[in-house]
Structure 1
């Protein structure tokens, strides 16, 4: 047999043998990545209604997941504006989350809300905001300062500007001494 044909046949069978020896991997062993698909730094989201600024969301870092959920692991700040465009309320939290399926934001950690027009402040460890319903609420312990009075309780519902609120279970209230406050 011709040495060139012999070499060609040997190379062909050798390569078939080499490429057919693959390790089979069970699908159960393969891990599915469920971490963030996108990351954004120093984000600013603006929500307007009829060309009027309604709210503004700022965060140093945003993570977006495959299902559309968002995380703000380094904190979140949401500003609410009046119809005239004046800053009315600020909401700050150590960490933030957006659940796309529910169209719901959640802030946790040191959560602080301040209505600048009514001079009201709130402090809690968790808050929810439904942008469509224009409503914020919590089931956690809250402290609310309204001018010179401090209210403590569990559970609260309010409009998203924190102009009108209902404290569910009031524990106590007291007048602030000079120099005290949230």
Structure 2
């Protein structure tokens, strides 16, 4: 059923953000030891669990802001971005696959989405890249370690500031 994700997410936006926006769900080290069959992500499966893993990242007020916004717009647009992944990749095959602007990448040691292998390959596509990996942090680095992320951003911007 290709519309199942839309229906489930639109039915309970508060639950979606409670399930998605969590920290300390699993470490990268532990994730890498799981059998390959268990290393996939299914939001629908996660939404069906009674017990949630990890700790919530959003306050009740923050969750309400997100849920209200998605109650108004729905999840179909963002879900379609993932549905169209392969087509987008194919349609940009002839586009130069490099980023020519100064770039700061802030990753996280326990991010199970962006892998060390992917990060290691970035300089081939982003020549002017500065990378930082936050310890004790997962995929949602801005919410998990806001002070560290802000410090890295401010420092990088100050060092990269062009005279006017």
* Higher relative helix content: 2
Question: Structure 1 length normalisation: TM-score?
Answer: 0.21
* Higher relative strand content: 1
Question: Structure 2 length normalisation: TM-score?
Answer: 0.23
Bigger Rg, which one? 1
